[in-house]
């Protein structure tokens, strides 16, 4: 075998590498010229999709190279690189330096030769078709390959961003351009399109003008400032001027009314002109709010009008203002009027009449919500009256207010709740998804929930109980088939009503009970809510019932805590029939909670059932212990404490035995539930034995101690025997097979 290297092959390879280096140098110079032109000229717009490359207009500006005729041997219409040397083609025969080549690898045709032009100008695998600035991409040369990019009119083929797409080997030139990112080794690569960036999770920030340069921002800020300053001036004219003794009452009132009317008239005139909407809204809002403040001053400060007449006039002014807002379709006008009056009315008067004027604003804005979805008006019409009434309730409850004043504040709280509930129900009938209406209804219930703090226990309980009944009835309307279809109460409003009603019920429970009986009331309410939640499969009712149960358990442990149950003296002082009733109610609440959890599917998994069984079993054992000890103390104060603990231990072991028997009986039919029952039974058994040896052995004496040990021992023997027989029976089929 001849292993010598052919010298001709070495010479041929040397010639080819020399030619390749010359072409690469030419390519580098061409790319540098292209990069320079991209830096100096803006990129052309992206060509329309579906338009052929040859039909696209050339990019304006200087071309990459001179005219084709300026290159020796160029064919008219075929653009050559700057150097005049054709671009190399992968896989094509390499040209010999100094010898003209044709498209097929032969000698290049001489300019002017008619036979050479068709063979050269047509697109072949070696060269691209002629276009205004670059050749159109072909399968061999123009398509993006590992070394070359597609060529378009002045740029490579435009992508979605209007820039050239990057090829595998070379990044298209884009240095110094917005929308380009630096590539490796000093090259450049195209930034992905905006949609691609968003799909990839790349944060895209649009450059925004500063806030003071945005359209309408400065004008709105100035308009709001103008409204505030002007209304403050009106208040000063009506009140502060009177305190200083300037002018007479009549000139002040007339001047305020005339000034407000003039502002309203100017606003109506400006509204019809171009660019006058912002100014018109500000002027009209100032005029309407000024007129409203004028009526408040006339009614409360000067006493010229009967309060009822003043309220009616104020209602007319507010209704006219919101009517104008509906006509102009401007939520800003309605909100500005309401907030302007609400913020400045306390400067005119701080009497109870202030609450009435704020409630008038709340009433006047209700019809607007039926025709317009204006959430900010919901908030603006409700919160001022709510906040002012809460302040009045706190002042009356903490201070020494007269009984008549307290009832006036109570009337204001009732009015706010009624207006809030009626308005919300009417609104959600039109727009069932209006959550803002339900939230404002929740705010409207706060003054009446706080009102019982102003009165003695009997009146407070009556207020909270009646309010709770109304709220819970509103929440339960969805459960009544015929009435629910007519009223159409959405779920979010029912949720708000149920939660507010639950707070009212909690107030009633605290009002009608003392420390000993409070757990009973709380557990009974929990049973009612849990029963309703399980029956109607309502998670809201179940959650409220669970909350009442948790609060009841805290109150129960506070009354019958571990220290009380473990010490005879404390037990005799604190435990009684009320504690026993609380324990029974606690057991009922636990049973209702377990049933409700099953109806709602909350214990479908074994892990959930185990957790519920553990928590419920511990709470149940504690309630049983409190029940037996309380009954023992009630029956016999001398020995009842020890007897109660002995009975509690026996009851624990009896419950454990029942759970184990239940689990063993269902071991073959329902293995999952059987495992839960067996685990619970064994846990209670361990607890009973721990109590027997750690507490009963030291506390009980005589016959009670012996009886406890005998009963627990017999039960353990029964359980052990049944346990062994059950597993023996389960293993017999396996041994027979």
Residue 656 has pLDDT above 50, yes or no: yes
- The terminus-to-terminus CA distance of the chain in angstroms comes to 77
Mean pLDDT of 585-604: 90
pLDDT in tens, 173-203: 444 444 444 444 444 444 455 555 555 555 5
pTM beyond 0.85: the answer is no
| Percent helix / strand / coil, the chain, rounded to 5 | 70, 0, 30
Greater confidence, 683 or 560? Answer: 560
Structure tokens at 392: 């009045």
- Check if the beta carbon of residue 153 is closer than 8 Å to that of residue 58: yes
- Check if the beta carbon of residue 427 is closer than 8 Å to that of residue 367: no
Greater confidence, 435 or 192? Answer: 435
Nearest-10 crossing angle of helices 671-691, 703-736: 150
Residue 121: per-residue pLDDT? 40
DSSP bridge partners of 667: none
Greater confidence, 364 or 144? Answer: 364
Residue 494: per-residue pLDDT? 92
Residue 111 has pLDDT above 50, yes or no: no
DSSP annotation of 552: H
Residue 114: per-residue pLDDT? 42
pLDDT in tens, 334-346: 898 898 888 888 8
| Range in 60-74, 250-264, 307-321, 611-625 with the lowest mean pLDDT | 60-74
pLDDT band at 26; cut points 50, 70, 90 = confident
**Angle formed at CA 702 by CA 697 and CA 704, multiple of 5 degrees:** 70
- Check if the beta carbon of residue 201 is closer than 8 Å to that of residue 192: no
Rounded CA-CA distance 304/263 in Å is 24
């Amino acid at each position: 075998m001849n292993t010598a290297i052919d010298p001709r092959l070495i010479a041929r390879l040397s010639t080819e590498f020399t030619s390749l280096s010359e072409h690469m140098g030419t390519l580098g110079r061409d790319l540098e010229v292209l990069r320079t032109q991209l830096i100096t000229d803006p990129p052309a717009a992206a060509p329309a999709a579906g338009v052929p490359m040859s039909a696209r207009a050339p990019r304006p500006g200087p071309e990459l190279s001179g005219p084709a005729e300026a290159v020796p041997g160029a064919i008219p219409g075929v653009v050559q690189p700057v150097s005049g040397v054709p671009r190399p083609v992968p896989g094509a025969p390499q040209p010999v330096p100094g010898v003209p080549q044709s498209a097929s690898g032969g000698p290049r045709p001489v300019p002017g030769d008619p036979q050479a032009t068709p063979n050269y100008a047509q697109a072949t695998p070696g060269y691209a078709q002629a276009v205004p600035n670059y050749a159109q991409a072909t399968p061999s040369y123009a398509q993006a390959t590992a070394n070359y990019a597609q060529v378009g009119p002045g740029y490579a083929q435009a992508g979605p961003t209007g820039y050239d797409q990057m090829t595998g080997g070379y990044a298209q030139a884009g240095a110094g351009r917005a929308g380009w990112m630096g590539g490796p080794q000093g090259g450049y690569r195209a930034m992905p399109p905006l949609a691609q960036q968003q799909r990839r999770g790349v944060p895209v920030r649009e450059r925004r003008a500063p806030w003071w340069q945005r359209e309408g921002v400065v004008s709105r800020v100035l308009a709001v400032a103008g409204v505030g300053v002007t209304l403050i001036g009106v208040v000063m004219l009506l009140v502060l001027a009177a305190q200083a003794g300037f002018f007479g009452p009549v000139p002040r009132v007339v001047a305020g009314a005339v000034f407000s009317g003039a502002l309203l008239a100017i606003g109506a005139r400006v509204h019809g002109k171009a660019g006058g909407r912002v100014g018109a809204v500000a002027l009209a809002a100032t005029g309407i709010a000024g007129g409203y403040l004028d009526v408040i001053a006339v009614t409360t400060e000067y006493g010229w009008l009967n309060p009822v007449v003043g309220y009616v006039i104020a209602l007319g002014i507010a209704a006219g203002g919101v009517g104008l807002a509906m006509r102009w379709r401007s939520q800003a006008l309605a909100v500005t009027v309401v907030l302007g009056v609400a913020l400045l009315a306390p400067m005119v008067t701080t009497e109870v009449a202030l609450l009435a004027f704020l409630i008038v604003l709340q009433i006047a804005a209700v019809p607007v919500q039926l025709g317009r979805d204006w959430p900010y008006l919901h908030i603006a019409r409700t919160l001022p009256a709510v906040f002012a009434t809460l302040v009045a309730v706190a002042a009356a409850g903490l201070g020494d207010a007269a009984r008549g004043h307290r009832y006036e504040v109570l009337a204001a709280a009732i009015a706010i709740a009624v207006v809030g509930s009626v308005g919300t129900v009417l609104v959600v009938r039109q727009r069932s998804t209006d959550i803002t209406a339900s939230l404002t209804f929740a705010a409207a219930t706060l003054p009446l929930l706080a009102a019982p703090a102003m009165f003695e226990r009997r009146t407070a309980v009556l207020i909270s109980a009646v309010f709770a009944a109304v709220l819970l009835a509103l929440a339960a309307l969805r459960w009544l088939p015929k009435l629910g279809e007519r009223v159409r109460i959405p779920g979010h409003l029912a949720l708000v009503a149920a939660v507010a009603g639950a707070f009212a019920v909690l107030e009633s429970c605290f009002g009608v009970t003392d420390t000993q009986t409070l757990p009973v009331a709380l557990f009974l309410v929990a049973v009612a809510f849990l029963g309703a939640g399980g029956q109607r499969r309502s998670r809201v009712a179940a959650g409220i019932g669970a909350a009442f149960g948790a609060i009841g358990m805290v109150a129960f442990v506070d009354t019958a805590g571990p220290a009380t149950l473990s010490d005879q003296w404390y037990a005799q002082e604190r435990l009684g029939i009320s504690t026993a009733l609380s324990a029974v109610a606690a057991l009922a609440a636990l049973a209702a909670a377990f049933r409700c959890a099953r109806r709602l599917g909350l214990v479908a998994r074994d892990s959930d059932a185990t957790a519920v069984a553990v928590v419920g079993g511990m709470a149940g054992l504690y309630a049983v212990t409190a029940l037996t000890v309380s009954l023992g103390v009630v029956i016999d104060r001398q020995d009842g404490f020890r007897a109660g603990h002995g009975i509690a231990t026996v009851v624990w072991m009896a419950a454990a035995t029942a759970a184990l028997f239940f689990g063993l009986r269902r071991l073959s039919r329902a293995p999952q539930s059987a495992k839960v029952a067996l685990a619970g039974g064994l846990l209670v058994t361990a607890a009973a034995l721990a109590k027997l040896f750690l507490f009963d052995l030291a506390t009980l004496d005589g016959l009670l101690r012996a009886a406890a040990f005998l009963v627990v021992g017999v039960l353990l023997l029964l359980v052990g025997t049944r346990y062994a027989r059950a597993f023996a029976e389960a293993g017999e089929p396996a041994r027979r097979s």
